[in-house]
């Protein structure tokens, strides 16, 4: 199981586990009832067909319950989506350029890097663009994924809550070396990041 390394991870996980839980319950319930009815009402025990009439309350129940479940799934999903689209005003901006087959990161002070260094506990807004084909900016530990489309600037944001190095991948097949289009998000203590950010040679 992935650890929660960003502020939105818990919301994404909650929606995922809710949907998995409901799906598992329905699978077991429907399969169990199917087996029960096959055994209980098989032809040997009931050679004479049963005439089943409609039941208004039963029809209301099996309409209302699925609608309620779907609306609950929508609520969880939309709550997470709204959070991921609402960028904090104090977010640091990093321009991210995708190309076959690497990532380039440019900071507001002009620093360029092939890894994404960010401070712990600071919102980071990434402006995404592609130089060639469709790529996809994906940081599994942050539950952050956004397509990078040629000719269109896209946006995502995250706030790292754990120190360390996290994989940054391209999640859209973009050519022969797609599997090598890898980088890292390096989450640093704020003071350490500030020293790196202000160095003349930030490599």
Mean of per-residue pLDDT scores for the chain:
90
* 129: β partners: 97
C-alpha span between 105 and 95 (Å, rounded): 6
CA separation for the pair 162, 94 (Å, rounded): 19
Give the bridge partners for 159, in sequence order.
123
Return left, alpha or beta for 169; rule: phi > 0 is left, psi -120 to 50 is alpha, else beta: beta
List of residues 6+ apart from 47 with CB closer than 8 A = none
Q: How far is CA 145 from CA 12, 170, 187, in A?
A: 12, 9, 18
Section 175-203 average pLDDT: 89
pTM listed for this prediction: 0.80
Q: Which two tokens stand for residue 113?
A: 């890097």
pLDDT tens-digit series, residues 126-156: 999 999 999 999 999 999 999 999 999 999 9
Residues 74-101 pLDDT 10s: 998 898 889 888 999 999 999 999 999 9
What pLDDT sits at residue 116? 97
- Cβ atoms within 10 Å, residue 35: 10
């Amino acid at each position: 199981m992935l650890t929660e390394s960003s502020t939105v991870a818990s919301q994404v996980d909650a929606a995922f586990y809710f949907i998995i839980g409901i799906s598992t319950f329905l699978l077991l319930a429907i399969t169990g009832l199917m087996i029960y009815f096959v055994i209980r009402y098989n032809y040997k025990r009931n050679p004479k067909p049963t005439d089943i009439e409609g039941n208004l309350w039963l029809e209301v129940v099996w309409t209302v319950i699925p609608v309620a479940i779907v609306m609950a799934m929508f609520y969880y999903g939309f709550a997470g989506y709204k959070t991921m689209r609402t960028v904090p005003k104090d977010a640091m901006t990093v321009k991210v350029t995708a190309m076959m087959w690497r990532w380039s990161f440019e900071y507001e002070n002009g620093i360029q890097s092939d890894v994404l260094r960010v401070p712990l506990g600071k919102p980071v807004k990434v402006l995404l663009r592609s130089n060639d084909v469709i790529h996809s900016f994906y940081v599994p530990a942050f539950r952050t994924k956004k397509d990078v489309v040629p000719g269109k600037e896209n946006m995502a944001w995250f706030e790292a809550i754990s120190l360390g190095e996290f994989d940054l991948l391209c999640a859209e097949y973009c050519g022969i070396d797609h599997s090598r289009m890898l980088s890292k998000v390096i989450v640093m203590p704020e003071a350490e990041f500030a020293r790196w950010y202000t160095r003349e040679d930030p490599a």
